[in-house]
Structure 1
């Protein structure tokens, strides 16, 4: 068993007795676990010594919600709300399946950027229509395994037609265009659960770092029997029930129109609001929703940057935290964020909350944001017993940052400077499961230059093909624009929603 001793470092544990108070000391790693933390741990025989002087050691960051399928669309779109953006990033009229090699490289690129940015755990809501295929899912797992990152990976599902999952969909879209959207019979609840059981059997705890999670896309996109079957399986395997809820005002209107209640209330009434559910976004929640979420002990993956770029709104973070909702931070996909950097999300999440009202006592603290990026994120993945903080017995998932960098000069407050000043440039070393996967800013398992060169060579043909897909789907744009305008203009019950006030 390998032993590593990090000596004389500044340690930010984010858990245990020390919490978010930095202290000086040593950290001993035996195999893949933290064996001891404290002052002067001696010199264990055979251990590799790492000099921690002038270095900060802290838990690896957690990306609580992302989509690897968007990785090749960095910087491609702007000034599009979610309902219009989906037409291009997740087109209704799809092209051929991405070749396996590009599927692998797309996933690997996300893992590479994540690790170099200090992310040691990500939750990938992988979506690969039109079918669920174990071989293709295996390709995604292989990329994460090769990179050395910890990951929860889903195979997201929906079984309600897109026009039936959005307010005013059928009445707005002309019949001749609706006829072009005949996708055949949707997957059944039994069929999807059979697939998920196979995925769990094949990939659960692969390499000690990789897990499959259950991810019905959203309550308005999935039938109740599918949602309930997914929840039952997630509980059996103790994996997250990961879903999108109330990201936009259109979705808030959709819930009221279809069910006569908010989508949070709808989940609650189905028995799906509990400690095992992770809700991505949660922007358009009202006070009743927040109370139910807090009572259930559920988690929210807060995507501050993506919510701003897609015009979704500002999630009511203070009220969610005060209600007892566990918060993690997500980038969302690279296409709606344009980076995989959680440091960017931390800074944005902290700053934007200060614009939600004049009561400065209710603005979020840097300490709260950093907790969301570490232990809170691990909670959303149901992995808080393994990772998210530096505590004896937990897995050795950590990052080391230089404290002599610009971001920490002068050094006033480590936590605040991590949230407001750092962007990942100070990262020197990243460790997952006790293995150093980034050293002096370079990946140890991957030939970065070769991977990036191969991707650059493949992109002209791929993006030209995608441009043709975009052109085919642009015929739907005026109608989804009208759907968006109609829904966002509706006032019925909307004054109750936090999103209207930030």
Structure 2
């Protein structure tokens, strides 16, 4: 791969030395990595030289938490709390699995939208019931390899019956409905470990940018044996243990009802909180939870938009920041967000925390948000030595934005423009590992028009079948609504309500 030199650009490196302070300079890329950053750099005669005047070069954005399994459900649901929404987006009464071609296209569609909007790394915790299948996981890896994106990939693991992972469920749900939920024998921890080891042997590290992460769905949805086995293997392999914790009030009640403690305390007592542990959501954490997370070195994926759409509440991000907990930004799935744009999440995250109280010194600033979207997200994915900032030796995962567009005019403060004004439309070039994957608004790795046409042709039949599943699962709607009602009216002794973001 020849050298690439970007000259005379405005650089925003997000590294420890320069942080979010832009400066003028050049960046030299060789063999997919950043070889030098400075002024008046010289490349070899065969290098590709890109003029950077009036252009911003910054790290690619990191989507710290998403679910490609929702990509075909954009714009389908609203007005539902999580426990009800799950019935339709992830039906209890399941139908046939999505076929391999649609599985590939579904993953590719998420990658396409991500890349066009400046996301160079995604952490995809997709759902592929009823079993974990190596060939189907390989299909998702292949889609991301073809797109050119960097990704941590896993299919969510669980082995506790749905009704045993929800408070009040066995009491509230009529017996005739409970009898319909026969999922067969639960997966053992040993069986899942065998699967994971096969993935590490065959797919992990593919294309130099695709990794496997271990994703037990949530502590209440997994047996202690499965959680502990997942954590031990994650530590051994140096990958994240990626899980959902305390997204909703119902989940806050779950910990106290089932374990007599918060779910964070439950994980702490099992020994599965560590640097490897990445927690999606963290909305309903207490001060004691935050202290345990900080001591363990956990990371958080803050899903500012999906938490609002599903009425889950607002995570206490300032308190998490004050505890020095690493925070990344996630879109969550396209069904609970309706976009894969981290620019959208940055804007919302930059706004909602300003209602946390009258002490405006504690409000979250644009440079904090941009840190979460870049190096914070990389740390949450355990990729901080690879991506997330522009530094010599790191992968050349970067964006080039036009600073003469409407969204940067007049140009006052680049970081504030990025968080509050930009929507991704100023992006000219996206580069991953030194390869240009988007240029002048066009994907360079795949035929976007052909892929979209194929999706439009194949998807109506799939969505019609899914509509039938929705109709069947509507039988459980009133039960889930009652579980939500009971949980939200239950006092669990917390000092804050997550609808009030607190500080």
TM superposition score normalised by structure 1: 0.99
Matches for 1:312-461 after TM superposition, within 5 Å: 312-461=312-461
What CA distance in whole angstroms lies between the structure 1 residues aligned with 2:293 and 2:131?
33
C-alpha separation between the residues in 2 aligned to 1:116 and 1:321?
A: 30
Q: Distance in 2 between matches of 1:435 and 1:358?
A: 46
Q: Cα 1:406–1:8, aligned 2, differ >3 Å: closer, same or farther? A: same
1:40 counterpart = 2:40:
yes
The residue correspondences of 1:72-151 to structure 2 (distance < 5 A) are 72-151=72-151
List aligned pairs for 1:246-261, cutoff 5 A.
246-261=246-261
> Closer, same or farther in 2 for the Cα pair 1:392/1:501, shift >3 Å?
closer
What residue number does 1:7 align with? 7
Partner residue in 1 for 2:476? 476
Once the 2 structures are TM-superposed, how far is the Cα of residue 341 of structure 1 from its aligned partner?
0.1
Does the 8 A contact of 2:6 with 2:27 survive in 1?
yes
C-alpha distance after superposition, 1:195-239 (max 9, x if no partner): 011011111110001000000000010000000000010011000
Shift of 1:494: 3.6
Describe the shift of the 1:441–1:466 C-alpha distance in structure 2 as closer, same or farther (beyond 3 A).
Answer: same
The normalised TM-score by structure 2 is 0.99
Structure 2 distance, partners of 1:174, 1:195, is 36
What whole-Å deviation, never above 9, does each CA across 1:317-349 have from its counterpart, x for those lacking one? Answer: 000011010000000000000000000000000
- In structure 2, distance between residues paired with 1:369 and 1:293: 20
Q: Distance in 1 between matches of 2:212 and 2:415?
A: 32
Q: Is this contact kept in 2: 1:64–1:329, CA < 8 A?
A: yes
Can you list the C-alpha shifts for 1:288-335, whole angstroms capped at 9, x where unaligned? 111111121110000000000000000000000110100000000000
Match of 2:268 in 1: 268
| Residue 213 (structure 2) aligns with | 213
Cα deviation 1:161-207 (Å, max 9, x = unaligned): 01100110111111110000011111000000100110111111100
Deviates more, 1:490-499 or 1:273-282: 490-499
SS at match of 1:163: helix
1:432-469 alpha-carbon deviations (Å, 9 max, x no partner): 01000001010001100000011111121111111000
| CA RMSD, Structure 1 to Structure 2 (Å) | 0.9
Q: Distance in 2 between matches of 1:83 and 1:495?
A: 24
Equivalent pair of 1:154/1:213 in contact (CA under 8 Å): yes
Contact 1:69 1:127 in 2 (8 A): yes
User: Do the aligned partners of 1:316 and 1:499 also contact (CA within 8 Å) in 2?
Assistant: no
Q: Distance in 2 between matches of 1:2 and 1:125?
A: 35
Deviations 1:374-404 (A, max 9, x none): 0000001100000000000000000000000
2:308 is aligned to 308
In the TM superposition, residue 498 of structure 1 has moved relative to its aligned partner by 4.7
What is the CA–CA distance in structure 2 between the aligned matches of 1:201 and 1:405, rounded to whole Å? 47
Question: 1:23 offset after TM fit, Å?
Answer: 0.3
Distance 1:142 1:112 in 2: 14
CA distance in 1, matches of 2:311, 2:499: 11
Q: Give 2:291's aligned residue.
A: 291
Q: CA deviation at 1:499?
A: 5.0
CA distance in 1, matches of 2:495, 2:478: 27
Question: Could you tell me how far 1:501 is from its partner in structure 2?
Answer: 5.0
Counterpart contact for 2:315–2:501, Cα < 8 Å: no
Counterpart residue number, 1:234: 234
Any idea what SS the aligned residue of 1:454 has? helix
What CA distance in whole angstroms lies between the structure 2 residues aligned with 1:219 and 1:317?
A: 22
Judge conservation of contact 1:315–1:498 (CA < 8 Å) in 2. yes
State the Cα distance separating 1:497 from its structure 2 match: 5.4
**Residues 286 and 497 in structure 1, CA contact (< 8 A), matched pair in contact too:** no
Where do 5+ consecutive residues of structure 1 fail to align? none
Q: Secondary structure at the match of 1:185?
A: coil
Aligned-partner Cα distance in 1 for 2:492–2:212: 39
Residue 49 of structure 1 and its aligned partner are, at CA, apart by: 0.3
CA distance in 1, matches of 2:351, 2:453: 36
